[in-house]
Amino acid sequence: MNKKIYIILLITLLTRSVGILNPILGWHSWRQSDTAEITRNFYENGHNILYPQINWGGAGTGYVESEFHIYPFIVSVLYSAFGEHDSFGRMASVLFSMLTVLGLYLLVRKLINEDTALWSALIYAILPLNIFYGRAFMPESMMLMCAVYSIYFFSEWLDKEKAKYFIFAWLFTTLAILIKLPAVYLGLPLFYLAFQKYRYGLFKKYVLFILVILIFIPVILWYYHAHQLLLNGGSSFGIWSYGVDKWGMISLLKEPAWYNDIFFKSIAERHLTYPGFILLIAGIFIKRNYERERLFDIWLIAIIIFIFVAAQAHRAQEYYTLPFDLPAAVFIGKVFAKYLPVGNFKNSFKLRSFASIALVVCFMLICILSYLRMARFLNGENQDSVVLKIGNDVRLVTPPDDKIITASVWNPIYLYHSHRKGWTGLPQVLDSNYIEKRKTEGAKWIAGEKEVFEMENSMDNLDKILKKYKVIKNEKDYFIVKLE
């Protein structure tokens, strides 16, 4: 293995270690706090991976219909060994992100060449959202790692037909789909690899059918079990809400604004940066030298199909689009490998001075834009955040088993930092009827950030709460009242 990959892995580690001790705050804190809640509940309630539990279940059990939570389970085991701290979730993400970079290098080296593999790994390592989600308390980095190794080990098994590669391909493919159901898109690149080797004879390969069955048995069993959690008084992340929220909103595909939001505002600006996006387009037009190299075309197409199927999900949350960055980094890497081959920069500048200088400028711009975006993300993880103040005060003034209502726009971050269970009440619905109903279900406190009421034009509701109930804390930017 080329020693330069170790330098790239070091870059991956360093870029994702900035602020690794920061609490969960800022960008996508709601999604991170959901994962952290499940982790903490595993840790406190016996590590039962079959019963993931959130804090915003109100009077229900808190068990939640969702993907398979192997990531928070692993972090909860780290809690048992070393003590509870958000940093262990971040560290796990950093490790999985480094393994993703390594897996991408191994796969591209195998199917294309060493130069493209090194450049692809480096580009992937420095793209801004890959850095952020490679340190976030979220399962995305583990899912991406599983996706890469799913394809890598499947190609190894096709070439060498050894049982260990079959097992690894099954394991990583199954985990990818369990962690994030949309990872079923992997079926298209895996099918291409099998077709590339067996052609139409693949339909006679019973071992391939066995692999598919082995992959989907645990997937079907888990999602059936997860749905039972909802039916038995639990909550849901809405993974089956077809045509309502994430999936199937085909009408969006008729809107030009949707294409602008997805392919320019999200992919070009946030994921790849505009220089990277331009290089992606250039890389797509570079000649394929090997038939198996077209795997990356199929991989990219599979993810684009997924984007169209889950149109609203990708528009609302850019982390759904993270799988796009893997094959995209390969096409960008192909451009660099063609004009700036590793170890031969001097001759490249002599032969193609304009192209080489342009690529160096593009690379520098990608680095600068990644830094600026990450700096913006890190600014949101401020230790003086009012969210932490609310959490600290709630823990001081309320008994641990008391249920609370937190005023928020569906954000469980206040419940997480308060280490309490209860409800996330929208400011505009926090009227007397809502509050009295929650009281009958066990609510004893309300806590919230005043700015949330202001943002939602619901200051009247806040005034009524402060007048009607016993005020425990009434600070400039937050409040806590007891429902007496």
114-140 pLDDT tens trace: 999 999 999 999 999 999 999 999 999
Give me the pLDDT at residue 346, please.
65
For residue 177 the two structure tokens come to: 């789909």
pLDDT bracket for residue 327 (50, 70, 90): very high
Amino acid symbol at 472? I
Sign of the torsion formed by the C-alpha atoms of 12, 17, 18 and 19: positive
- Of 436, 466, 467, nearest to 448 by C-alpha is 466
Amino acid symbol at 400? P
Between 314 and 106, the higher pLDDT residue: 106
pLDDT bracket for residue 245 (50, 70, 90): low
pLDDT tens digits, 372-381: 999 999 998 9
Q: Which residue has the tokens 């199917």?
A: 111
d(CA 245, CA 243): 6
For residue 266 the two structure tokens come to: 């999200």
- Does position 161 have pLDDT exceeding 60, yes or no? yes
pLDDT bracket for residue 252 (50, 70, 90): confident
Query: Per DSSP, which regions of 42-133 are E strands?
Result: 64-65
Say if residues 215 and 177 touch (Cβ distance below 8 Å).
yes
**Residue % of the chain over a pLDDT of 70:** 96
| pTM of this structure | 0.93
| DSSP 8-state class, residue 480 | E
- Of 93, 123, 118, nearest to 106 by C-alpha is 118
Instruction: Tell me whether residue 12 is exposed, middle or buried, using C-beta atoms within 10 angstroms of its C-beta: 0 to 12, 13 to 18, 19 or more.
Output: buried
d(CA 422, CA 406): 8
Lowest mean pLDDT among 21-30, 339-348, 436-445: 339-348
pLDDT bracket for residue 192 (50, 70, 90): very high
For residue 419 the two structure tokens come to: 């280490």
For residue 220 the two structure tokens come to: 């079907």
Residue 384 Cα to chain centre, angstroms: 26
Q: For the chain, give the number of residues.
A: 484
Most confident region among 257-261, 307-311, 328-332 by mean pLDDT: 328-332
- Does position 347 have pLDDT exceeding 70, yes or no? no
Q: Which residue has the tokens 């909860």?
A: 76
Largest CA distance in the chain: 80
b/e map of 352-362 (b: 16 or more CB within 10 Å)?
Answer: eeeebeebeeb
| Termini Cα distance of the chain | 67
Between 408 and 299, the higher pLDDT residue: 299
Q: Which residue has the tokens 């888990």?
A: 222
E strand or H helix that includes residue 246 = none
Q: Which residue has the tokens 């809405």?
A: 238
For residue 165 the two structure tokens come to: 């590669």
For residue 310 the two structure tokens come to: 């889950």
Say if residues 249 and 312 touch (Cβ distance below 8 Å).
yes
Amino acid symbol at 232? N
Give me the pLDDT at residue 412, please.
93
Give me the pLDDT at residue 277, please.
97
d(CA 149, CA 288): 23
Summarize the confidence of residues 446-465 as an average pLDDT.
Answer: 90
| For the chain, counts of helices (H) and of strands (E) | 22, 7
Residue 399 burial (CB count, 10 A): 8
E strand or H helix that includes residue 471 = strand 470-474
Say if residues 47 and 80 touch (Cβ distance below 8 Å).
yes
